Amino acid sequence: MRYIGESINRVDGIRKVTGALKYVDDIKLSRMLYAAVKRSPYPHAKLLKVDISKAEKLPGVKAVITGKDVANRVGLYLEDKTFLATDRIRYRGEGVAAVAAESKEIALAAIGLIEVEYEELPAVTNAVEGLKKDAPLVHPDMKEYKWGPIFFPEPGTNISNHYKIRKGDVEKGFAEAEFIVENEFFVPHIQHCPIETHSVIAQRDPDESLTIWSTCQSPYAVQKALSVAFNLPLNKVRVLSPAVGGGFGGKAGTTLEGIVIPLAMKTNGRPVKLTYTREDEFINSFVRQGLHATIKTGINKNGKIVAVKNTFIWDGGAYTEYGVNIVRAGGYASTGPYDVPNVWTDSICVYTNHPVGGPYRGFGMSEIHFAIEQNIDMLAKKLDINPVEIRRINGLRPGGKNATGQVVDVCGLQDCLEDVVKKLDWENSIKQSPSKPNRVVGRGISCAYKAPSMPNNVASSAIIKINDDGTAHLMVSAQDIGQGSDTVLTQIASEVLSIPPNRITIKTGDTDHTPYEWQTVASRITYCTGNAVIKACEDAKEQLLGLAQLKLGIEKDKLYLKDGYINSDTQPQKKIAINELALGLSLEDGSGIHGPIIGRGSFIPPGVKNTDKQTGQGEKPVAFWTYGCQGVEIEVDTETGKIEVLKVASSFDVGKIINPQLIEGQIEGGIIQGLGSAIFEELIISKGVVLNPNFVDYKIPTADDMPEMIISFIENEEPTGPFGARGVGEPCMVPTAPAIANAVNDALGIRIMSLPITPEKILRALKEK
C-alpha cells in the first residue's frame, strides 16, 4: 500500500500551528449581537416567575427570551430537556432567560435586571440517595417523555435507564467459587477541559432559514435537535462546524445552540453569538457522570472467575438525554475484557441535581474499568497469583464469550498483555530503586476494552469529486476534533484513487454542503466514515475505469489506478491520466459522454442487532471491540503522598494502523488524559454547587507531568474495517487510571477506591494501614 500506514503530516497542521484556522469565536459578522444567560442560583427549585421587563427596556438590548420561547423537549436518546428551564430548575446554573444585546457588557447588565422568583426544593445530591423511595423527584413528568426503544426509564422514580445483563446463573456460579470478594468504588464527575470553550453564532435569514456556526462534533445531530426544538424543516437549518478546538465528547450532541437560536429569531436578521466562559464550560456544558460501583466476584481455585454481580449506579445529573446510553454501554461491557460465564449486572442511570452528565472520552469504560481492574488485582492477591497471570487466565480470547454472550471473533488482548509485560520487563527485572529518599516504586497493569457506543444503524456518507486537473475534493461531515480524522480520511481516499494526499482537499462540517454523518463520537470515524470514503472512492474509480475502458479499448476488470493514471498490465504502453477523464470522456467525433466524476459512498455498520431486553444477551450488539493493555511505573513519596508517574507502556490491537505518527499522538493524549483523571481531576460538588469551576482549583496535567511513554500496537485486522482498521481514540485512555491505582497498591499496599488518587487520600490510607 502506498499511503495507508504512512506517517503523513496532518493536513490541517499548517493552519493550526500558524493560527490561521478560524474557530467559531474568531468569526465576527456584520452587526453581530452578543448573548448572555440568566442562570439559577439553586440546584433544585420551582420556577415561579421570570420578569424580563426591565431588561427589555435597557438601551442596546435587542431580544430577551425565557423558557416559553424554547418549550419543546429535546434529547438524543431520551427527550428530557428544554434549552431553558420552563417550570423547574434541575441544576445550579441552569438557564432561565437569555438576552441578545449590542455588546457583551450590555447583555450582562441586562441579565442583572431580570427578576426571577424561585421556590427552592430539596435536592438530590447523591445518586445512591436518589434511588431511595422517599427521594425528591427530579423529573416528575418522566412518563410524558419520549425515548428510544433500547432504553428503560422508570417513571415515578429518578431512574432514567435501568440496563440489565443476565447471563448464566450467578448464584450457581458463586456456589462453585473458592473465594468471593465484594468491593465498592467511586468515580467523581470530571470535565473535558478542551482548550476552546463552546461557542455558537446563529443568524436567521429573511427567507426564514437559519444558519448556525457551532463548535460542535456533530453538525447533523445538532441540526436534527434544533429542527425538533423549533419545528423547522431540515432544509431550513444549516449547521456549520468550521473547526473544533478539542472535543473529547463534550461537544457531541447539543448544548448552547438552543439558547442562541430563539434569540436570533427575534433580532431581524442580526446574528447572535454566545461563547462560554471557562466557568460555563465546567458547569453548563457536559461533565463526565459520576459512578458508584459495587462488584461482587467469585473465583475458583484455578484463578478462573466464575461469577460476577455488578451494581453500577451512575450520577447522571439533571438531564440524561445522552447519559442513558453511557449507562447502557457500562452495562454491556460490565465484566471488562474477561470471559465470565455467569453475570448479573444492573447499570442504573439516576437523575440528580448535579451538572448535566454526558459523553466523555471512554463513554463509561474509564469509569467501570477503574473498578473492574482494581477488583481483579484484589482477586489475584487473594489467590496469591500475580496480576499478569490472572489476566492471562481470564482475559478474552477469540472463541470466548463476552458479557452479552457474543462470541469473540478478532481479539488481540492476550498479545497486548504480553507486549506490555515485555516492554516493562515485568517478570524478569527487580524493581528499580527509587530516585529519592522517602519514595517507593510501584508497578501496575490494566487491560481495557471498548466498543463504539452508538445506535445499531448509525449512518455515514462521503462524496468525492474529481477536479479538472486530477485533484479531488473529499466531502464528509466527520469532524477533526484533534484526533486527525481529516488526515486519515484523506489517506484512505488517496489509497483507493492513487491521488496523493496533497492533491486531495477534505471539506467537513456544513450540513448544506457536506453529506450526512451521524456524529463524531464513539471512536467510530476511521471505521464508519473511513468505510464510506472507500465506497465513495470505489464509486468514482468505477466511473473512471468505465470511461477508460472505452478510451483505451481494454476491459474494465484489467484496469487499475496507479499514480494518478489508469493502467493495465496487459497493455502497459496504453494509459490515461485521471484528469483527462475528470469531466467526462471526449470522443473522437468531438462529442462527450458521462460528465464530471463524482463518487458517493454510504455506510452503516453491518449486522449490529438489538440485545434481549431482559437479559442483555445478543449475537452482535456492537460494531467491533477494541482491546488493549497498559502498564505503569510510578514513584510515591510516602511522606507527602505525591505520585509521580514515571513510565507508561501501552499496547492496543488497532487492526491496521492508517497513520503511525497520528495514532501515537492519539495514544499519548489518551494516556495523559487518563493520568489527569487518575491523580488530579475532580469536580468538587457540595450541595449541588461546583466549588472548583476553574483551572485554579481544577488541575489537569501539564507538560511537566508527562511520563515516558512506550507505545506499541498489535494489528489483527478488523474484518469489516477500512483496510482492517478499528477505532482506538477512546480506548487508549481507559486503562491508565486503573493501572496507576494498581501501582499505588504495589508500592504501598494500600487501595484507593475512589478517584482521583490524591496525596491526601494516600496519607490517610497509610495511617489506617
Partner 1 sequence: MKTFEYFKPNTIEEVSLKLLEYGDSKILNGGTDLIVALNEGRSCPSIVVDIKGIEKLKEISYCEDNGLTVGACTTLNDMMNNRYVIGNYKILAEAAHTVGSCQVRNRATMVGNITNASPLADTATPLLILDAFVKIFGPGGEREISIHDFFISVRKTCLKAGEVVVGIRIPAYKEILGLYQKHARRDAVDLATVCASIAKIDGDIRIALGSVAPTPIRCRRTEEYLRDKDLTEIVIEEAANLALDEASPIDDVRASRVHRQDIIKVLVKRGLKELVI
- Interface residues with partner 1 (CB under 8 A)? 105-106, 108-109, 639-640, 642, 680, 684, 691-692, 696-697, 699, 701-705, 758-760, 763-764
- Which one, 107 or 371, has the nearer CB to partner 1? 107
User: Of 349, 354, 306, nearest to 325 (Cα)?
Assistant: 349
Hey, which residues does 204 pair with through a beta bridge? 210
Query: What is the Cα–Cα distance from 613 to 206, expressed in whole angstroms?
Result: 48
The least distance separating partner 1 from the CB of residue 697, rounded to whole angstroms, comes to: 5
CB of 763 to partner 1, least distance (A): 5
In the complex, the smallest distance separating the C-beta of residue 673 from partner 1, rounded to whole angstroms, is: 15
Q: Which residue, 349 or 678, is less far from partner 1 as judged by CB?
A: 678
Say if CB 473 and CB 357 are below 8 A apart: no
Candidate list 427, 730, 760, 768, residue with the active-site label: 730
Buried b (16+ CB within 10 A) or exposed e, 61-92: bbbbbbbebbeebbbbbbbbbbbbbbebbbbb
Q: Which is nearer to partner 1, 175 or 684 (CB)?
A: 684
Spatial CA neighbour of 249 closest among 331, 327, 322: 322
Q: Which one, 61 or 663, has the nearer CB to partner 1?
A: 61
Cis peptide before 596 (omega within 30 of 0): no
Query: Left, alpha or beta for 301 (phi > 0: left; psi -120 to 50: alpha)?
Result: alpha
Handedness of CA 721, 423, 759, 384 (dihedral sign): positive
- Work out how close the CB of 748 gets to partner 1 at its nearest, in angstroms, rounded to a whole number: 15
Q: What are phi and psi of 187, to 5 degrees?
A: -120, 120
Separation between Cα atoms, residue 94 and residue 90, nearest integer Å: 7
Q: Smaller CB distance to partner 1: residue 311 or 758?
A: 758
CB of 706 to partner 1, least distance (A): 11
* Alpha-carbon torsion, ordered 174, 176, 178, 182, to 10 deg: -10
DSSP classification of residue 198: P
**Closest distance between partner 1 and the C-beta of residue 36, in Å?**
12
| 8 Å CB contact between 738 and 370 | yes
Task: Identify which of residues 76 and 752 has a Cβ nearer to partner 1 in the complex.
Answer: 752
User: Smallest Cα–Cα separation from 363: which of 706, 77, 690, 664?
Assistant: 77
Q: How far apart are the C-alpha atoms of 36 and 259, rounded to whole Å?
A: 9
Compare residues 169 and 644 and give the one whose CB is closer to partner 1. 644
Q: 297 - beta bridge partners?
A: 181, 308
User: What are the helix and strand counts (H, E) for the chain?
Assistant: 18, 30
CB of 764 to partner 1, least distance (A): 8
Strand order, beta sheet including 504-507: 504-507, 472-475, 460-466, 598-603
Nearer to partner 1, 653 or 682 (CB): 682
Between 593 and 691, whose beta carbon lies closer to partner 1?
691
State the nearest-atom distance from the C-beta of 29 to partner 1, in Å.
24
Which sign, positive or negative, has the C-alpha torsion 272, 17, 660, 504? positive
CB of residue 104 to partner 1, shortest distance in Å? 10
Beta pairing, strands 88-89 & 45-51: antiparallel
Report the residue number, 99 or 240, with the smaller CB distance to partner 1.
99
Burial of 423 (0-12, 13-18, 19+ CB in 10 A): middle
Name beta bridge partners: 94: none
Least Å distance between CB 356 and partner 1?
22
- Name the residue nearer to partner 1 (CB basis): 430 or 703: 703
373 in active site:
no
**Residue 1 neighbours by CB distance under 10 Å:** 10
Nearer to partner 1 (CB atom), residue 105 or residue 205: 105
- Indicate the helix (H) or strand (E) that contains 228: helix 219-229
Range 234-256 burial, b when 16+ CB lie within 10 A, else e: eeebbbbbbbbbbbbbbbbbbbb
Torsion 262-266-267-270 (CA) sign: positive
Contacts of 410 (CB under 8 A, 6+ apart): 398, 624, 653, 655, 716, 717, 718, 719
One-letter amino acid for residue 346 of the chain: D
CB of 622 to partner 1, least distance (A): 37
Question: 181 near 296, Cβ under 8 Å?
Answer: yes
- Tell me the closest approach of the beta carbon of residue 740 to partner 1, in angstroms: 15
Please state, in angstroms and rounded to a whole number, the distance separating the CA atoms of residues 99 and 39: 12
Active site residues: 730
